[in-house]
């Protein structure tokens, strides 16, 4: 037995503990963030519930997101549209009152985007609606969500799989989406 490693271990032990505790902290921080502040389920400025509107009352998606039928962007309803019903419906709800306040002050509501594609992807809602796709195919069962969460990855594989399965003309050409 030449050189003993015991002294070295003695020095390393506290360093190991520090690194170990730090690593555990890292994991805790990482998952705590993901659990309590999920990027895929942002907290909206007004807690609008799709469960009530699309679920319980079965209002069709395109009733509010009208533009999806004719425009590349689906659009979110104008405050005006909300007030179309809420001028008489549930006027005493605090959330509805908040909407009414925006309407009276002509102040737009800064909703947070849940589903987003990179700017280099051209995704026209109108063509997909025209092709008879259900909104849920990409957006998930929104009618069951109080807070909308991003279900599908909305990544290129998803687009290509679907375009292949449905035998979309030029569906897998680069320029179909990247233009």
Partner 1 sequence: MPNIDRRSFLTLVGAGGVGAGAGFMLSESRKHPVEHLVPYPVPPEEFSPGIATWYNSVCSMCSAGCGISVRTREGRAKKIEGNPAHPVSQGRLCALGQSGLQALYNPDRITGPLVRAGRRGELEFDPATWEESLAELANQLELMRTAGRGGGVALLTGGVRGHLASLLELFMSWLGSDQLLHYDFNHPATLYAANERFFGESELPYYDIENSRYVLSFGADFIGHWLSPVHHGLGFGRSRQARDGIRARFVQIEPRMSLTGAAADEWIAANPGTEGILALGIARRIVDQGGYQGADLDAWRAALDGYAAESVAEQTGVAADTVARLADSFAETQPGLAIGGGATGNHSNGVDALVAVNALNHLVGNIGVEGGVIFNPPPAFGPTASRQAGLSRMLELAEDARAGRIEMLIVSNTNPVFNLPEAAGFAEALADIPQIVSLSTFLDETTAQADLVLPSHTYLESWGDDAPSPGVGFRVGAVSQPVVEPLYDTRATGDIVLELAHRMGLDLAFPWPNMEEYLKYSWREVWSSGTPDPAIPDFDTFWTSVVRAGVWGDETRAPGGEFAPDAGVVDGIGVGAPEFAGAEGEFPYALHPYLSNGLHDGRGANLPWMQELPDALTGVVYGSWIELNPVTAEELGLSEGDVVAIESPAGSIEAPVLVYPAIMPGVVAMPIGQGHEQYGRYAHEHGVNPIDVLAAQTEPGTGALAWAATRVRLVPTGGRVDLVKVGGDSRELGREIVQIADAGTPAAAGAPTVASATDAGAAVGIDVPAVGAEAAMANTRLNSIPITVVNT
- Binding residues for partner 1 (CB under 8 A): 14, 17-19, 21-34, 37, 39, 42, 67, 70-73, 75-80, 102-103, 106-113, 116, 125
Q: Residues 24, 26, 30, CA angle at the centre, nearest 5°?
A: 120
Of 10 and 113, CB closest to partner 1? 113
Minimum distance between the CB of residue 138 and partner 1, rounded to whole angstroms? 16
Residues 6 or more apart in contact with residue 95 via CB below 8 angstroms: 46, 47, 48
Of 55 and 124, CB closest to partner 1? 124
Neighbours of 159 (CB within 10 A): 19
Separation between Cα atoms, residue 96 and residue 29, nearest integer Å: 36
Of 127 and 164, CB closest to partner 1? 127
Minimum distance between the CB of residue 80 and partner 1, rounded to whole angstroms? 4
Minimum distance between the CB of residue 164 and partner 1, rounded to whole angstroms? 26
Separation between Cα atoms, residue 175 and residue 40, nearest integer Å: 28
């Amino acid at each position: 037995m030449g050189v003993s490693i015991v002294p070295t271990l003695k020095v390393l032990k506290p360093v190991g503990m520090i690194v170990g505790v730090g690593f555990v902290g890292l994991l805790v921080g990482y998952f705590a963030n993901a659990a309590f502040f999920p990027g895929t389920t942002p907290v909206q400025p007004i807690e609008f519930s799709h469960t009530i509107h699309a679920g319980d009352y079965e209002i069709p998606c395109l009733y509010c997101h009208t533009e999806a039928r004719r425009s590349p962007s689906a659009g979110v309803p104008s405050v005006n549209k909300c007030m179309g019903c809420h001028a008489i419906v549930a006027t005493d709800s605090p959330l509805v009152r908040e909407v009414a306040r925006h309407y009276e002050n002509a102040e737009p509501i800064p909703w947070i985007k849940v589903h987003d594609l990179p700017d280099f992807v051209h995704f026209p809602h109108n063509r997909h609606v025209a092709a008879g796709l259900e909104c849920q195919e990409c957006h998930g069962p929104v009618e069951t969500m109080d807070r909308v969460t991003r279900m599908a990855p909305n990544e290129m594989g998803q687009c290509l799989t679907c375009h292949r399965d449905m035998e979309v003309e030029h569906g897998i050409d680069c320029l179909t989406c990247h233009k």
